[in-house]
Structure 1
Amino acid sequence: MDIQVPINKRNISIPDEVQYKWQTLLDTIVEIIHVPVALIAKAEPHHIYVFLYSGATQSLSTLNGREYPVESYCSTVVTTGRQLLVANALKQTVWKRNRAVRAGMISYLGLPLFWPDIDMFGILCVLDTKENHYTGNSQRLMAQYKDLIETDLAMLCKTQQLESLLESLGDIKESYYPDISSDAIITTNNQDQIISWNLGAGSIFGYTSAEIVGKPLSQFIADPFRKKYENMRQLISEDSSNDSRKVIEVVGVRKDGIELPIVLTYTRFKSRDELLFTAVIRTVAKRKRLGEMIQSRNRELNILNRIAQSLSQALKLDEVLHRGLDIMIDTMDMTAIAIYLTDEDTDNLSLAAESGITEDLKKTATDLPLGQQSSLKNGQYALTIPLISRNRIIGSTLFIRASEFQDTHIQLIQGASNYLAATIDNACLFEKTERMSITDNLTGLYNQRYFHNALQTEIDRLLRYPGLLSLVMLDLDGFKEFNDQYGHVDGDKLLRCFAQTLKTVLRKTDYAFRYGGDEFAVILPLTTARKAEIIINRFRKKWVEVFGRLQMSVELPLEFSVGIAEFPQNAETPDTLILLADSALYESKRQGKHTSTLVSDMGDITSDPHS
């Protein structure tokens, strides 16, 4: 069932969790592309305004309404509906009156953002105070983030359409339930005491804000459900993740004593240093029986709503796939379901997740016709539905049931598949952009940004479960002279080959990074410094062999110097460990290069290794 309900996109609000994700994307853009400002500007009928931004600069001190220094740039993107790249506005007279130029922002890259119906949502853009052509990885990263944001917009439209359909069935309510349309939004502190209460909460529960502030939220949950609420609250309090969020169905108690079923979405967040919680409450209104047709329609839409709610809380692809399987198996009366995804390189379908699929069926499932019902040898029936997102097939979903599929089943399956496809596409885009943000574009190794996160994570793990690790810093000897003599093409080729050869001697649990220029770093969990030295010596031998096959202009291979530090023997913090490994590296340089130095073999280190 492809949901075809007209919606007013101006009424679609961007949820907090989506805004948080977009803000993270902007922060990542600023860090990776090395620009002072990245922002999302929203296009309204008569003006443009900054919706979200990242970057600290005095020229963006005013960021609301029309008063911001990128209006001319962004207005051009809105007018043309095309990407705009301005490498240096000072060289083009057309921009001489642009307030952004007067504020010092002389370069700009802006990409239009569209709703799924091609209406303009806004602009994703970056600005720089120096000339910038935004070549290579910069434009690729921006394009990926544009796709990710537009996929979010498509999902918001589908959710709005689904909610409109559900509301269309809610005209007749049980007379003993209050007619409540607004959501209750309640904020509590760490002791469950209510500190804010909106008008929607007053409508649902019948209290004024003055009557309830300071009282525990649990007081307004019916006794049989209070333990369920308290258990959920304890779980979310102990959850250390940034996106802690739970949804439960309980029964609330109004001021007049009437009990009513509610859906409570509970979210944890920090305000300054204080831990706070937000409860968004909706009533679950009972509906009168309007005949078998309306009942069936209502059931379908509620199933889709459950699927949408469940999938909206997942971001990682693996979580999306398994949540999708679980909720569809649970709600759609299927004996088995399989999800296949299309490989971007080969266009072949491969099994990504399944529940209840037999080994024989796995071998032949991709041969079943798309969109058609098939009878199987075991007497069951199969239906394969394509997964379509952004006008392209990204995979298919195979449904198996004991009896034939009726039209109502097919409509429900089509609707679920549409939402699943958008969510899968969103998760794939997110993981792809996440990989780009932590990967060095030239070598394929992790980048320096991820190095510090990974080292901190590994050391935190060792503080909980005692163990050790070694940090290895490597630096190519004479690389600058090589680059100067043979050029950057050969230099880049050398760095790529060095990085790939390094990966071949490491385990799956090890991390390899391009730390900067011709310097590399390796984290070796559960490895002593002496063992790390053996691994590096093995790498030296392999590097000599590989270099001989490179057909470089220079005959002798570029050697490298190494410094090795061990945690916790040599240091107890990440910064100290890095400093000591760097000191050992420069000790190797001072000793004549082409060697390895262990911190444990050095004396006291009290000075800057680079001095």
Structure 2
Amino acid sequence: MSKTTILVVDEELSFRRFFAEVLNEDEYEVETVASVELALARVAQGGISIVVTELVLSGIDGQEVLRQCRARNNPPEVIFTTDHNNAETVIQALKNGAYGYLLKPFDPEELRHLLRSCLEQRRLGYENTQLKRQIDLFQKGQNLASLLDIEQLFDEALQALLHEVDGGRGMAFLPAENCVSQVVALSDLTENEALPLAHALLPFLEGLKDFRLLQGDELPTDLPLPQGTRSMCLLPLHYQKRIEGVLVLLNRAEEDFRQPLPRRNLLFLLEQVALGFSNACRYKDVRRLIHTDDLTGLHNYRYLQMILDQEIHRAERYGLEFSLVFIDIDRFKLINDSRGHLAGSQALKEVADLLRQSVREADILFRYGGDEFTGFLAETGPEGAAIVAERIRRNIEQHSFFAESDNPAQLTATVGYATFPIDSSDHQGIIDLADRAMYIGKKVRNVVRSAQELHL
């Protein structure tokens, strides 16, 4: 493990030697300088974890060191030393971001304790930052995997990938036989530049299995690359064992990608984009196969089966939860009997609209059959499912059906829900439990029931 580097800034040689002697015993890497100018030059080179500096150096405010340190990426911590008990100056330094201060003369143990505390806080801060980055990356990935609109998927995927390489230019396209059917360009890359490049890249797709980086002399000279291109990443998207989409990342003009390239993050995002792309392609196929209920515009039972298969696979792979809600309109037969089947159809359309208002864009709604509906709640546990189920029940209860007619009506619904994998870890089991939970609610109607209640 590399040593922690501490920079000591003090005009007095005796104090610099004192610091070096004490801290070298603790196996710190200690560097000492006698002026603000030398300190700032060393900090600019990087690699400093803590700066221990006098508060006043030859009449120069030592807080200039603090200001310039705080302005850097991954700034070092700053600890002040002073032989003046100037409370106001010290307080201002702490407000400006200094970690702490020491009054000269001080005991070596006091110095060691302050440094240990500072390094521990720095370590925790770094771990927290890394955790936030991983969570952000995971959330971006999950969002990309859930997108079903290909153009939106391309746009957001390029933004996420370029963020990982600290910016650049990007494009995406759908290759067809000897042509390109769709191009999305992003970040200072115009479609007029992207389209000829997409066509020129078609021969390079044969045999392309995974992420590929081309740099310097590896870049083909006959490609119509935008000016200033030094690096190009090709990221293929497969569907049914064929390359059906391609993402292309280019560096900013005359600048390089972040080094080293974060391949692990890029591959994770590519995997999520590929999943979203596969979902989007499948969705288009499903639309062609009429997997949408004609009356309500919601998905139908056949599509529910498909979604559950792929979402169970994704949930098992990434340790996710999801919930399924079943909604049954109470005494719906009375609407058909008293108002006719046209009115019944109108009521079902209004129910579908209420369901759309009750869930998120990432959730998927289905007309299960007749007056029964189903909702797939992505990455939702039992607590979240209970909230959504109650919102659905309440929205239906509070809605005035046939509001524009002379004879409005009120309807209620009974809702049941089950959560994967808590209640069941298989396809049919999760459907049956959500359905049974709804069924036990039908004994009283206009209630929400959980699959957990089946075991009580």
Task: Decide: shared fold, TM above 0.5.
Answer: no
Higher helix share: 2
Q: TM-score range by the shorter chain?
A: 0.3 to 0.5
TM-score, length-scaled by structure 2: 0.40
TM-score, length-scaled by structure 1: 0.30
